[in-house]
Structure 1
Amino acid sequence: MKIVKVEAFPIQAKPIDTRPYWGSRAWGSERAAGQAELSTEYPVPLRRRFIYSQTIDTVVVRIETDGGLVGWGEAKAPVAPQATAKIIELLLTPIVMGADPREVLVLWERMYAGMRVRGHRAGFYLEAIAGVDIALWDIAGQAAGAPISTLLGGKMRESVRVYASGIPSLPLEAPDEAIETLVEEARSLRAAGYTGVKMAIGRGVRGDLRTIGAIRDAMGDGFSIYADAAGVYSRADAMRLGRALRELGVGFFEMPIPPEDVEGYAELAQGLDIPIALDSIMSRHETVELIRNRAIDIVQPDVCRAGGITECRRIAELADCFGLAFQPHVSIGSQIHVAASAHLAVAMPNSIVCEYWIGKNPLGPAVVETPVELRDGYLFAPAGDGLGIRIKPDVLLSHVAH
């Protein structure tokens, strides 16, 4: 069996939701618009202006074999998907062309080695590798007549509990009516079957606590709340906020400070009772540095960003050796992203929960024949061969950027 064709499609789908992506509302240009360049805050505002696209962006990878098998993968590309697609076309395709797609580990190592000497250990290059890797696993599963979860060693559980992602926090001066709107959104999510929600925080310690406190009061202790600060806080504010979040029963504190500050993560992880999670992990090499420094409690790699199924498996297993939990990060993306995450979540022994984006998604169930099953707040790994979802190419590729 040999690979005869590799295609990478930059996707920019027109949003169908009435509101911008929750991350953009919390940490994007809307939040930054009223902030001064000079500030007594740390990190300063100009370091907290994250780029978000006006469209739903990703890269879809299609790999074909000489026997007619077709595998689909996805490379995370929330902005500039054309750049990631070009990396796949110009750098990764020559490496995998003509190879046996079932040799996923060999091909992963060859792809990663290709730019190691230049320091490309994160970002666009690892995301590009992820897209190819997932497509290879899809083919390997089809060739074996088994789902990816079986190739990973089998299901440790039939499904994984998901939390709804997400609700943005509000600044302290927000009117009571705005807080009540968020509370009603949380109530509607519970009515839809979700047992928990992740909130995009970072609107000031007092603002975050006011918002989370209102949702906790309305939802009670039986509803899980998680918090993602996107690295906007200083060590001191994160420590103060983390203690208060624990008192409110928040389940984990995600990216409380900038991810480069490993020493700061160690200070927080060792000084707080609330588990510290990080979603910007790109490889097992970053993971082992965090573990050595006792700087993390939950590893939270994104399968479409952190090198695909091959590397996320190794991250999860490495974490498990040190008694740390694993949970897939799943933000904006397509059903390929959701399916790959579900297979990992049910197969890894240290999985606890899985993220699930609740926005109306043009790249969601509409692009597949058999959508990934979400029932009563639990995500089920597809039972079909490979990823177990049948792509509708005409629908998915209608969103290709031109």
Structure 2
Amino acid sequence: MKITKVEAIPIQARAIDKKPYWGSAAWGDERGTRGEISTEYPTPQRRRYVYSKTIDTVIVRIETDDGRVGWGEAKAPVAPQATAKIIDLLLADIVIGADPRETTLLWERMYAGMRVRGHRAGFYLEAISGVDIALWDLAGQAAGASITTLLGGSFRNPVRVYASGLPALPIDAPDDALAQLVADAVALRDAGYTGLKMAIGRGLKGDLRSIGAVRDALGDDFIIYADAAGVYSRAQAMWLGGALQDLGVGFFEMPTFPEDVEGYAELAQALTIPIALDSIGSRHEAVELIRARAIDVLQPDVCRAGGITECRRIAELADAHGLAFAPHISIGSAIHFGASAHLASAMPNTLTSEYWIGENPIGNVILDAPLLLDRGYLHTPTAPGLGLSIREEELRKHSA
């Protein structure tokens, strides 16, 4: 079996959700970044991120000489055309003519291609991720086994997922906005979820007001996670982490900017709340955090952190050091959700997995048979490879 064609399909799907994407609502606002003088620290210019108005990603389609088609996804929440070009111009030639079952060999060849130039994260790793997932899909099809089986078997199926996410409110938000936030949280519990994640970073007092209101409404047994997206200073994160642990928050995700490994170590060793991080690009970043005793929950994203091959390595590194694994998703197509489910099922140290609760124009609608989410548990497909049958015509409606 040899690879004959690699196609990268940039996707920009029109959002169908009535509410803005939760990450954009929490961290994408441009207030305070254009010309105003600010005395805040960290400065607002360091705390606002770029988000697309559409649902963006890159779908990878790989054909083999025996007629098989494998599907993958490269995380590209902005500028998917850039990621697609990396696949077209740099990665396709590396894998065409190769046996897709040689997943580790091909991963190393792709990674080495730009290693000397320092491309160890970001667009290049995201592009590798999409190709790698498609290779695993083909390997599973050829073996007549699911990716979970190729990874060594299922420790759990279905996988407990948490609802992601609800944006916290600033301290000056009106009472009716807080009441709506609480109502949204109660609706998620009533839908069967046992946990949710809140996007914080709207100010220390606003964050605590929002999480406190949700905690009061849902009770002590409901799991609440908090994601600050790295907007706080080390000192602010330390203060807030202490308050969050008093509220029984399950983990504190990206409490300060991810480059500050020393800061993460200080937080992880001073606080009892588990410190989590999703912006892990590879096992090399993971091992730096682990050696520094700077992390408790590793959250690599399969479509960002090197695909199945590299996320397996990260999860196993975490497991060897007694740390938890919790796949990150945030936003993406059904392929993203399916690949994450296989990892979550197969890794022994899986704590939980993220699940984006927004209305998804490239979710189950692009599948012949939908992924099954039942009262907060996602069922991992058991058919060969990813176990997903893609409605290609429906998918290509959203190509950019």
TM-score for both structures, normalised by structure 1: 0.98
Counterpart residue number, 1:155: 154
Counterpart residue number, 2:396: 397
Counterpart residue number, 1:318: 317
Q: Determine the C-alpha separation between the residues in 1 that align with 2:320 and 2:18.
A: 44
C-alpha distance after superposition, 1:73-104 (max 9, x if no partner): 00000000000000000000000000000000
Counterpart residue number, 2:370: 371
Counterpart residue number, 1:12: 12
C-alpha distance after superposition, 1:219-238 (max 9, x if no partner): 10121100000000011110
After superposition, the Cα gap between the structure-2 partners of 1:35 and 1:247, relative to the gap in structure 1 and judged at 3 Å, is farther
C-alpha distance after superposition, 1:113-172 (max 9, x if no partner): 000000000000000000000000000000000110000000011221111000000111
Q: Determine the C-alpha separation between the residues in 2 that align with 1:95 and 1:121.
A: 17
Counterpart residue number, 1:290: 289
Q: Determine the C-alpha separation between the residues in 1 that align with 2:157 and 2:218.
A: 27
- The answer on whether the counterparts of 1:224 and 1:250 sit within 8 Å (CA) in structure 2 is yes
Q: Determine the C-alpha separation between the residues in 1 that align with 2:29 and 2:79.
A: 17
Question: 1:21 is aligned with what amino acid?
Answer: Y
Question: 1:335 is aligned with what amino acid?
Answer: A
- The answer on whether the counterparts of 1:160 and 1:352 sit within 8 Å (CA) in structure 2 is no
C-alpha distance after superposition, 1:244-295 (max 9, x if no partner): 1001010000000000111100110111100000000000000000011110
Give the C-alpha shift of residue 372 in structure 1.
1.6
Counterpart residue number, 1:244: 243
Q: Determine the C-alpha separation between the residues in 1 that align with 2:36 and 2:82.
A: 30
Counterpart residue number, 1:222: 221
After superposition, the Cα gap between the structure-2 partners of 1:319 and 1:37, relative to the gap in structure 1 and judged at 3 Å, is farther
- The answer on whether the counterparts of 1:96 and 1:107 sit within 8 Å (CA) in structure 2 is yes
- The answer on whether the counterparts of 2:32 and 2:38 sit within 8 Å (CA) in structure 1 is no
Q: Determine the C-alpha separation between the residues in 1 that align with 2:41 and 2:136.
A: 43
Counterpart residue number, 1:115: 114
Counterpart residue number, 1:86: 85
Question: 1:8 is aligned with what amino acid?
Answer: A
- The answer on whether the counterparts of 2:33 and 2:44 sit within 8 Å (CA) in structure 1 is no
Q: Secondary structure at the match of 1:349?
A: coil
In structure 1, stretches of 5+ residues that fail to align are none
Counterpart residue number, 2:105: 106
- The answer on whether the counterparts of 2:73 and 2:131 sit within 8 Å (CA) in structure 1 is yes
Q: How does 1:249-260 map to 2 (within 5 A)?
A: 249-260=248-259
- The answer on whether the counterparts of 2:194 and 2:376 sit within 8 Å (CA) in structure 1 is yes
C-alpha distance after superposition, 1:353-388 (max 9, x if no partner): 000000000001100012221112111110111000
Counterpart residue number, 2:336: 337
Counterpart residue number, 1:145: 144
In structure 2, stretches of 5+ residues that fail to align are none
C-alpha distance after superposition, 1:165-207 (max 9, x if no partner): 0000011111111100000000111111111110000011111
Q: Please state if 1:21 is matched with 2:17.
A: no
- The answer on whether the counterparts of 1:36 and 1:45 sit within 8 Å (CA) in structure 2 is no
Give the C-alpha shift of residue 46 in structure 1.
0.5
Give the C-alpha shift of residue 27 in structure 1.
0.2
Counterpart residue number, 1:128: 127
After superposition, the Cα gap between the structure-2 partners of 1:5 and 1:21, relative to the gap in structure 1 and judged at 3 Å, is same
Q: Determine the C-alpha separation between the residues in 2 that align with 1:315 and 1:33.
A: 37
Give the C-alpha shift of residue 35 in structure 1.
7.8
